[in-house]
Amino acid sequence: MNVYSISEAAARYHIPESTIRYYEKKGLLPFIERDKAGRRLFSEDQMTLLGTIMCLKNTNMPISGIKQYVDWILEGESTLERRLKMMNDHRKAVLDEIALMTDSIDGIDYKIARYAKQIQERKHGKGE
């Protein structure tokens, strides 16, 4: 079984090592082995978990929510339904957030159009 150092994990997900240590301390990355010098060794499974954590983080799930999710994974099969519901609820929340952002872009586009027009008008007005 291949293992990875913290710098490899950090590089793979484009995050600082300090963030990974912080996540471990918060309980998002349980059971990370160490080599005899005390350095973290990430298994393939833990890299995958970190990938999942990044998906959740990228979609603005709070640390506390991610922690709950990881705790349910550790608890085993009996939490499958809860995990499924959590992911489904989260998916919905993310789609809502994207919709809000998309709507807000319309307001921004309106500003862009107005500024572009005003700048054009000012150019044409020059020298008249």
Partner DNA sequence: GGTTGACTTCAACCATGGTTTAAGTCGTAT
Partner DNA sequence: ATACGACTTAAACCATGGTTGAAGTCAACC
Residues in touch with a copy of itself (CB under 8 A):
51-52, 54-56, 58-59, 77, 80-81, 83-84, 87-88, 90-91, 94-95, 97-98, 100-105, 107-109, 111-112, 115-116, 118-119, 122
Hey, what's the torsion of the CAs at 58, 60, 64, 68, to 10 degrees?
-70
In the complex with a copy of itself, the residue whose CB is nearer, 5 or 52, is 52
The string over 74-92, giving b where at least 16 C-beta atoms fall within 10 Å of a residue's C-beta and e elsewhere, is eeeeebeeeeeebeeebee
One of 31, 38, 111, 123 touching DNA (CB under 7 A)? 38
104/112 Cα distance (integer angstroms):
13
Interface mask toward DNA for 49-88; x: CB under 7 A: --------x----xxx------------------------
Size of the site for DNA (CB under 7 A): 21
Q: For the CB of residue 85, give the shortest distance to DNA in the complex, in Å.
A: 20
Paired tokens of 123: 């150019």
Residue 120: how many other CB atoms lie within 10 Å? 10
DSSP 81-94: HHHHHHHHHHHHHH
CB of 75 to DNA, least distance (A): 21
- Amino acid, res. 6: I
Using CB under 7 A, list all residues that contact DNA: 5-8, 15-19, 21-22, 34, 36-40, 57, 62-64
